[in-house]
Amino acid sequence: MIKFRWPLIVGGFSAAFAVAMNALGAHAFVGLLNANGKTALFNTALHMHEMHAIGLLIVGLALLYRPNSRSWHFAALLLLAGQLLFCGNLYVLSLYNISLISALTPIGGFCLIAGWSLFSLGALLKMTSERKSP
């Protein structure tokens, strides 16, 4: 059963981590972000992190409805990978003024785009299969 619920579990923890990063960004990291001139970059990472944590929860809820959807499972994996690569790299860049690997950010962005596209495709395939059923 955990196989179907992992996006809900990971999405919930990701949302909690986003709240913690928001608090740290508003208090503990303010001086560092201002000194680096990276407040806007941190806020971009935070916004994308929050949005895609909710996205993982949405995909997780959809998987409760259709647990055998390969496209939705893969969509959730892509959203998680995108969060780690895109948001993670932006967090590190904004806080430490170093880029882990500059290619990770666009790869993460591609993962996020691909994840949402795959989620939509899975919904479309479900609609098409329902129309064909007698």
What is the tens place of the pLDDT at every residue in 31-43? 999 998 999 999 9
Looking at residues 19-46, what average pLDDT do you find? Answer: 95
The answer to whether 49 touches 85, Cβ cutoff 8 Å, is no
What does the pLDDT read at residue 98? Answer: 79
* 89 assigned to some structural domain: yes
What does the pLDDT read at residue 99? Answer: 67
Q: What gap in Å lies between CA 58 and CA 97, rounded to an integer?
A: 33
- Measured in residues, the chain has a length of 134
Query: ∠ CA(15), CA(10), CA(76), 5° rounding?
Result: 105
How many domains does the chain fold into? 1
pLDDT digits (tens, 9 = 90+) for 60-74: 999 999 998 999 999
Output the CA torsion sign for 62, 18, 35, 102: negative
Q: What is the largest CA-CA distance in the chain?
A: 64
* 133 assigned to some structural domain: no
Burial label, 37 (beta-carbon count in 10 A; 0-12, 13-18, 19+): exposed
Res. 130: pLDDT tops 70: no
* 37 assigned to some structural domain: yes
Q: How confident is the model at residue 133 (pLDDT cuts 50, 70, 90)?
A: low
Q: What φ, ψ does residue 28 adopt, rounded to 5°?
A: -70, -35
* 68 assigned to some structural domain: yes
* 134 assigned to some structural domain: no
* 132 assigned to some structural domain: no
Domain that holds residue 52: 2-126
Single-letter amino acid code for the residue at 100: L
* 82 assigned to some structural domain: yes
**Cβ atoms within 10 Å of 16's Cβ, excluding its own:** 11
* 105 assigned to some structural domain: yes
Full-prediction pTM beyond 0.85?
Answer: yes
